[in-house]
Structure 1
Amino acid sequence: MTVFDWLIWGGAALTLAGVAGLAWCIVTVARARKAGLADAAMRARMRSVLAVNMGALAVSMIGLLLVITGIALV
């Protein structure tokens, strides 16, 4: 296995971790909506989920960039 293979598989793992984070955000917001929280509580929940959502998007993007770089350099 070359370093480029490690780059591709590592990027794929990061991308899957980011997608898992996005799925967690979707499930958390769906549960909060079903719970019928008050407006202030819903805003607080959404604020905490937003930070995780942005982090998951960033991790997923970095993973995809690693995959593309590994494929381009092979």
Structure 2
Amino acid sequence: EAKFDGQILVDDKLETLSNKFYQLAFAHSSYLINIRHVEKILGNEVYLDNGECLSISRTYQKEFRKIFTKSIAEKY
């Protein structure tokens, strides 16, 4: 499987992308996170499989956790 670790510039709005791709979830109004790369969530921080740590804003915490939990349940 090809691996990409970086940024992609797109013309679509983030809202449109999150609706098109169920694995993308808002963690902040300015960025989406691919749920498939989340290793764990501690408090308001998301730890990714590349070692990066990102913050989840209060606005998106509940929904982000819901999407993450659903993705884990679908794996098993």
TM-score (norm 2): 0.30
Which structure has the highest strand share of the two? Answer: 2
Which structure has the highest helix share of the two? Answer: 1
Q: Work out which of the two has the higher radius of gyration on C-alpha atoms and give 1 or 2.
A: 1
TM-score (norm 1): 0.31
